[in-house]
């Protein structure tokens, strides 16, 4: 049996993209405008306070207009009382899916600039996001970074209503020192969180993340800003300002941060020039130029020739990297061996030319090849009945990894539904054998795969009743006769057992 999808009037629902503790998100088509949307639906209508916060989130985001802020299309309520938000569908995944990746500096700064410009609008409205983290930074198809999830956004002047009770909000690994210590917050806490993200993009790691929550908090409060390697030293001062422990020592707001990013960009452009421009005075008429001037002009000419030679050499390097990358891709060497695979070589070409179309297309093809490979591995694990375990080599693992790269992949979505159905079948077979513990275990495993599966949720709720019904005699036993009762003959057994056995076989084997 296939799980029925949620029904949302005016929307054609295609599948679920994800689920959190309080809400789930579906991919759908808004029928009136024929556009793909993401619909965030509350799991329950019982918590009125949370429902009001959910509606407030929608109103907050709908009031913000910026290319780097998610767009809200609709806020409404389902027939069962649950509220939902319909928002733009952002197909490029989130920054958390790029965990461990070292970004080329200009790309990292471009993302920071886009997020900072969006946060400037948020802060101008008197709000603070309070949960800037990689999972809340999405990417459109054109690569634009987008801020999402304003569920804990709060007016700055009202922030004390949580902090005065010692309630910390946000994600500890990206929280500012004042946020981790439950102190009043303002726009500068978002700047700190964005600084942690910049550090993670430049280095590939978040050094503040500890083995426990208390350790993470202490790291934010006490740990010095890490020193970047020599080739990234131009960005050290930027991190120092964004990650200052004292908010007063950080950038005052995102507008100042954006101005500093402009200055940094101008410095980078200056550093790429062949030689500094010379301020030459206007020569007097009929006066010959001095020898030193001829020498300088000659050096500039030689520098120009050398610069042209360097450019040609760089292009040769890029072409060579692209050729090797295409060869590795054709050989199926997507990520291995280290520093000699398609993914690595395409990225090396992008370090030399960040906008190289062939390298960008190559990375896209590498990803599609990885998706194809993982789908094949998922199918193999299905055949081997490795549905949920081992955790890093099961059908569920491979399908989920595909969805992390491509959230609307229909094969992966259908694969998870198929796994959930397998666990439903396993549970029913266990009930038939009166193995009630195994039946409940299969239900729980199915819910690990699809937490919102309606049939599995119903089976979990009905488990105790089914066990009692199976253990309760159907009729009162007759008084025992003095004469021993003869055992049923071999001809009698098929009449009482085989029809049921045949029924189960027809359901589960055909």
Instruction: Provide block-wise average pLDDT over 10 residues at a time, the chain (510 residues).
Output: 73 84 86 92 85 84 90 92 92 87 93 96 90 92 88 49 41 89 90 97 92 86 92 93 96 94 72 39 46 56 52 80 89 83 87 85 88 90 89 88 84 91 94 92 91 90 90 60 47 46 48
Quote the CA–CA distance of 168 and 427 in Å, as a whole number.
41
Q: Pick the last residue of a domain from 250, 271, 292.
A: 271
Q: φ and ψ at 94, to 5 degrees?
A: -120, 170
Nearest alpha-carbon partner for 280 in 267, 293, 295: 293
Whether 301 is covered by a domain: the verdict is: no
Extract the tokens encoding 188: 């500068």
Whether 379 is covered by a domain: the verdict is: no
Quote the CA–CA distance of 29 and 473 in Å, as a whole number.
52
Quote the CA–CA distance of 207 and 209 in Å, as a whole number.
6
Does 353 lie in the same domain as 214? no
Does 235 lie in the same domain as 107? yes
Helical (H) or strand (E) element with 128:
strand 127-128
Whether 477 is covered by a domain: the verdict is: no
Does 320 lie in the same domain as 192? no
CA distances from 321 to 47, 101, 334, 353 (A): 56, 19, 14, 11
* Domain span at 327: 308-365
Catalytic residue among 76, 80, 131, 186: 131
Extract the tokens encoding 505: 């076989």
Extract the tokens encoding 104: 């080329």
| Total domains, the chain | 4
Does 132 lie in the same domain as 52? no
Quote the CA–CA distance of 467 and 440 in Å, as a whole number.
10
Whether 260 is covered by a domain: the verdict is: yes
Q: Tell me how many degrees the CA angle 57-58-62 measures, rounded to the nearest 5.
A: 120
Has 131 been annotated as catalytic? Answer: yes
Q: Pick the last residue of a domain from 244, 271, 298.
A: 271
pLDDT score for 341? 87
Q: Pick the last residue of a domain from 271, 290, 320.
A: 271
Quote the CA–CA distance of 115 and 254 in Å, as a whole number.
9
pLDDT score for 22? 78
CA within 13 Å, CB half, 267: 10
The predicted model scores a pTM of: 0.53
Whether 164 is covered by a domain: the verdict is: yes
Question: 17 and 407 in contact (C-beta within 8 Å)?
Answer: yes
Does 126 lie in the same domain as 203? yes
């Amino acid at each position: 049996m296939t799980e029925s999808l949620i029904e949302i009037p005016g929307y054609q629902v295609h599948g679920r993209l994800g689920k959190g503790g309080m809400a789930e998100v579906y991919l759908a088509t808004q029928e009136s405008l024929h556009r793909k949307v993401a619909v965030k639906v509350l799991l329950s209508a019982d918590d009125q306070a949370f429902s009001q916060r959910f509606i407030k989130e929608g109103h907050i985001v709908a009031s913000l207009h910026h290319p780097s802020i998610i767009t809200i299309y609709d806020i409404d309520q389902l027939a069962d009382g649950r509220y939902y938000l319909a928002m733009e569908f952002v197909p490029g995944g989130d920054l958390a899916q790029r965990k461990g990746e070292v970004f080329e500096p200009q790309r990292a700064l471009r993302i920071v600039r886009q997020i900072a410009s969006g946060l400037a609008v948020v802060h101008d409205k008197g709000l603070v996001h309070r949960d800037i983290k990689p999972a809340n930074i999405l990417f459109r198809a054109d690569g634009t970074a987008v801020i999402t999830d304003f569920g804990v956004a709060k007016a700055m002047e009202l922030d004390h209503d949580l902090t005065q009770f010692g309630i910390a909000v946000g994600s500890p690994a990206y929280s500012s020192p004042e946020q981790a210590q439950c102190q009043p917050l303002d726009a500068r806490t978002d700047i700190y969180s964005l600084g942690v993200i910049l550090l993670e993009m430049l280095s590939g790691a978040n050094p503040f993340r500890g083995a426990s929550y208390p350790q993470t908090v202490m790291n934010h409060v006490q740990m010095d800003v890490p020193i970047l390697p020599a080739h990234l030293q131009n960005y050290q001062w930027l991190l120092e300002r964004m990650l200052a422990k004292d908010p007063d020592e950080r950038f005052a707001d995102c507008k100042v941060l954006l101005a500093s990013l402009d200055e940094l960009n101008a410095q980078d452009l200056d550093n790429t020039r062949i030689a500094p421009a010379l301020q030459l005075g206007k020569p007097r008429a009929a006066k010959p130029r001095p020898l030193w001037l001829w020498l300088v002009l000659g050096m500039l000419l030689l520098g120009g020739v050398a610069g042209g030679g360097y450019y040609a050499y760089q292009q040769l390097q890029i072409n060579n990297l692209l050729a090797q990358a295409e060869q590795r891709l054709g050989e199926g060497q997507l990520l291995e061996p280290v520093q000699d695979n398609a993914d690595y070589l395409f990225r090396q070409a992008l370090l030399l030319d960040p906008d190289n179309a062939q390298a960008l297309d190559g990375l896209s093809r590498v990803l599609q090849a990885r998706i194809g490979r993982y789908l094949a591995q998922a199918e193999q694990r299905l055949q081997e009945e490795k549905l949920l375990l081992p955790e890093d080599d099961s059908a569920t693992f491979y399908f989920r990894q595909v969805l992390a790269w491509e959230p609307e992949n229909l094969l992966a979505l259908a694969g998870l539904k198929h796994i959930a159905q397998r666990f439903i079948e396993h549970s029913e077979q266990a009930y038939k054998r009166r193995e009630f513990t195994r039946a409940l275990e299969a239900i729980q495993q199915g819910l690990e795969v699809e937490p919102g599966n309606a049939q599995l949720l119903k089976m979990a709720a009905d488990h105790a009743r089914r066990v009692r019904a199976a253990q309760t005699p159907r009729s009162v036993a007759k008084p025992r006769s003095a004469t021993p009762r003869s055992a049923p003959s071999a001809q009698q057994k098929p009449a009482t057992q085989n029809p049921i056995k045949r029924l189960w076989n027809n359901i589960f084997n055909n």
